[in-house]
Copies of this chain bind each other. A is one copy, B any other.
């Protein structure tokens, strides 16, 4: 079974080198431009009501994967699916960014953490009632995510 996706736009960011891209959107204040293809612009109606959106995208410069990785935030090896490491069997990324403004089919966003030119696959509104969980355990990130 194959699932074939086509980008709906492209994400522009200040980051042109993998090694200089922020580790997570929550640690970035960088501004990016989400350039949605004009044919999908109508699907953006009402999005300006949301302060935060999910971007779903392809890690387009990521080739192959290993099932055990040393993530950026740790020096120990973990299972790939217990990390947010970009080299994955399906190179899908998600970031939550702040929606600053919309001009027709272009969204200015803050807190971007992807490479310039990243293919955009989907946009979804961030809704805490759906997306926020309390009483969370974060495994090996416990001692690492604040560093």
Given A6-B89, A7-B3, A26-B129: A138 in contact with B94 (beta carbons within 8 A): no
- Point out the residues of chain B lying under 8 angstroms from A78, CB to CB: 45-46
Shortest beta-carbon distance from A112 to chain B in Å: 14
Q: Count residues of A near B (Cβ-Cβ below 8 Å).
A: 69
**A interface list, Cβ under 8 A from B:** 1-8, 24-26, 36, 40, 42-54, 56, 58, 67-68, 78-84, 88-92, 94, 96, 98, 119, 121-133, 135-142, 145-146
Q: Are B96 and A133 in contact (CB under 8 A)?
A: yes
Number of copies: 2
A133's nearest neighbour on chain B, judged by CB, is B52
How far, in whole Å, are A17 and B26 apart by their CA atoms in the complex?
37
User: Smallest CB–CB gap between A26 and chain B, Å?
Assistant: 5
Cross-chain contact A79 with B49 (CB below 8 angstroms): no
Residues of chain B with a CB closer than 8 A to A133's CB: 26, 51-52, 96, 98, 126, 128
User: A109 → chain B, closest Cβ, in Å?
Assistant: 13
User: Out of B40, B52, B145, which one reaches A89, CB within 8 Å?
Assistant: B40
Q: Name A6's closest neighbour in chain B (CB-CB).
A: B2
CB neighbours of A58 from chain B (8 A): 3
